A = this chain, B = another copy of it.
Amino acid sequence: MKKNLSKQKVIHAASSLFFQKGFHGTSVRDIAQRAKVNVSSVSYYFNGKQGLLEYAVTKYYEEYLETIEAILKATENWSAIDRLNELIFTIIQYKQSKLQLTCFIQRELTLDSIFVREMTITYLAKENFHIRTAFFNVLAGKKLPGDERDYLLMQLKGMLITPYILHNEWKDRVIGDYSHEVFVKKYVATIQNWLKFIVENEDVSDKFQGK
């Protein structure tokens, strides 16, 4: 069963290089060289460079959504706040487990291309729906004016991606599996602490309205 051994090597090398140099900044020859396979293997297995990208991103998001939806199903009768907290933990944990791919995809999604728009429709819309629903359920009891909910949602979503944007500043601190665990635990706690404030604070909207 040595089947698809090269395929795996290509994926691994590509993840690493895309993360480091970006999609357009990486050539198939770079990938082949690092994976120690022939150049033509990329086209053979993935139908070209673009196909390799689609394969990796699709696989990432399929698993991501699967994980999210599983945790939402498993916590159906929890309180809204507990559910959201669990969701946050799950998301950060997943992203941390595929650190390079997460950073790379996060970066690529800031582009404006046909591929990004397709991914947005297929996956990001679902992700956004889950987070939004879970967050708004927590906020259900509070009376927040107009678009303040949206700004808070943006703040939350920002916290979920920050470590993977500012990765260059933090890579020194997170080395090895142990550090990963510690980071997830502490960072999730930081977010959940913010969340607690949002829920408990009564007059969040004072400043917001410019009073």
Chain A: residues with CB nearer than 8 A to chain B? 19-22, 24-25, 103, 106-107, 109-113, 116, 120, 128, 147-148, 151-152, 154-155, 157-159, 161-163, 165-170, 185-187, 189-194, 196-197, 201, 204, 207-208, 210
Q: A22-B111, A111-B20, A158-B162 are in contact. Are A189 and B210 (CB under 8 A)?
A: yes
Q: Copy number of this protein in the oligomer?
A: 2
Provide the bound-state CA to CA distance between A196 and B111, in Å. 34
Main secondary structure of the interface of A (DSSP, over half): helix
16 interchain pairs (CB within 8 A)?
A: A21-B111, A21-B112, A21-B113, A25-B113, A106-B165, A107-B110, A110-B168, A152-B190, A154-B166, A154-B187, A155-B159, A158-B165, A161-B166, A185-B210, A189-B207, A193-B204
Q: For residue A110, which residue of chain B has the nearest CB?
A: B107
Say whether A197 contacts B201, CB under 8 Å: yes
> Please, which residues of chain B bring their CB within 8 A of the CB of A204?
193
Provide the bound-state CA to CA distance between A207 and B185, in Å. 10
A161: which of B165, B167, B207 is its contact (CB, 8 Å)?
A: B165
Q: For residue A21, which residue of chain B has the nearest CB?
A: B111
